[in-house]
Structure 1
């Protein structure tokens, strides 16, 4: 077997040692204790050294608070951003400094959207914009994304939150309904990510893409009959891994977020029809409660920002421990 000592030695990280020298005290007394002066040096495998604090990998306390989370002047798109979880993600991105474009099929976004846009401009010095786009209309999708990127000369991120849900037993599902689910939840997500990646490659700055999946892409929900939806979210998780493997060479990172049950307006309406779910669902996770859209704000900013610069091809599951029993 060939020796591996040389490559292993080269792979060793820099090691910090303390070097001490004993010097006579400046006090002219025969009883004075010699003064010990210590300095840290960092040694590499070839024996060379640099003073501590001078190496690029030395720890430091920056003057800006957690600058790796900043999205200042970056341009980020949020599909499904007109309301709900998508709009909450857009708001968090704005607070981190990003210029945000929300894409959605709705003719007009929710009433709160315009208030957020106004505050973003006045209080944060950034901007929130709306573009009506159906992710199934690929030519218009590509045109819209290209126009946004050309306007700013860059495109830095995407949170793909557009998706639909339909609760129907598997034996009753029609092919048309299943195909509509997959067209929005898988193909629509794929084409949105593709449109964004093309612009990232065009401008050469790389970027980060976060696809909203679901814990339902990993588990079958007890008491919730939605086979096509769950299959579509499993597809999103696998899609994220494959896009990450192809686009890493362009410095484009792709990850997924898998939320647990979120209390939105739609879910509140569902509880009216199925009141038992409001009491049963919280019992199915380790925290004994359901989540709110705001609890996913940090995850989106983390994945789009440089705080996650070495993370790609991963699924960030945030489900209160539901899937870990």
Structure 2
């Protein structure tokens, strides 16, 4: 084959392997995120910012009667911006690692509204470092918030549902790391806490089904928050995404909200004991 023809074939081969233009699936700015939670009172732990705040916005956009943020931190600018748009968004200072604090917060919601229909156990923390460097105090801190906090929030909410005769819904925030390692930022203890959260939902759903209480979980992938914004700025981000597969971007927290709304709503009355991975097919699960 003449040299010119060889060069043409090589060029064509290179072009055939080039990735197609990426079409972003993020809804446009005019998307109204609407699915109804009319008449529902929902509490979300850790909703002053990040994923919790995004869940709160979608719940409010879908006609929730009241949404409460149970958070240890004082609200910031993002919280108050959303509250200006939705005055039925409120903050109750709560330490979710303390049962007394959680019970007090739930009682306050019931005193103010007469009911509580849903609880999202979302508050959590992470720490990414090699397993050989983790010490017991760091593990205890992770498990205390991510596992014990979620468990007792669910337990206390379930007791209140039973007391009030409400067919309530509990949704826990797990993680894609409950299924598989995060190669970009490994954390064996964090993955273990989120696997515990995902697993406990199955048994709680079984135990509490005769009370009309549903328990499910959501496993997010890469989500853009104050703790993860830097990820996309890393120089090897494009290469990492090439090998992860899936959608090469972080999710907007509101993109998770539809699943939470579904699980909190009466539309999911036959849905319990499941986990919904929302990870842009990262890692092909």
- Greater C-alpha radius of gyration: 1
Aligned match for 1:316, one of 256, 276, 280: 276
C-alpha displacement of 1:270: 4.7
Matched, 1:78 2:49: no
Shift of 1:253: 0.4
1:223 aligns with one of 176, 184, 189 = 184
Structure 1 pair 100/160, CA: closer, same or farther in 2 (3 Å)? same
Contact 1:168 1:225 in 2 (8 A): yes
Q: Number of paired residues?
A: 251
Residues 89-126 of structure 1, C-alpha deviations (whole Å, 9 max, x = no match): 111111112110001110x21202112112113xxxxx
Match of 1:104 among 66, 71, 74: 71
More strand by share: 1
Q: Given the alignment, which residue of 124, 132, 137 partners 2:93?
A: 132
Q: Which residue of the partner structure matches residue 120 of structure 1?
A: 86
- CA distance in 2: counterparts of 1:196 and 1:281, whole angstroms: 39
> Corresponding residue for 1:3?
none
Correspondence 1:292 to 2:252: yes
Residue aligning to 1:269: 230
The structure showing larger relative contact order (alpha-carbon pairs under 8 Å, at least 6 residues apart) is 2
Aligned match of 2:61 in 95, 109, 133?
95
Q: Which residue of 1 aligns with 2:220?
A: 259
The separation in 2 between residues aligned to 1:71 and 1:290, in whole angstroms, is: 27
Contact 2:55 2:256 in 1 (8 A): yes
2-side partners of 1:90 and 1:222: how far apart? 30
What TM-score do you get using the length of structure 1 for normalisation? 0.73
1:232 equivalent in alignment to 2:198: no
| Cα pair 2:57 2:254 within 8 Å, conserved | no
The answer to whether the 8 Å contact 1:105/1:134 transfers is yes
Instruction: Show CA shifts across 1:113-149 (max 9, x none).
Output: 112112113xxxxx01101111112111111112212
* Consecutive unaligned residues in structure 2, runs of 5 or more: 1-33
Please list every run of at least 4 consecutive aligned residues from structure 1 whose deviation after the TM superposition is greater than 4 angstroms: none
Gaps of 5+ in 1: 1-67, 122-126
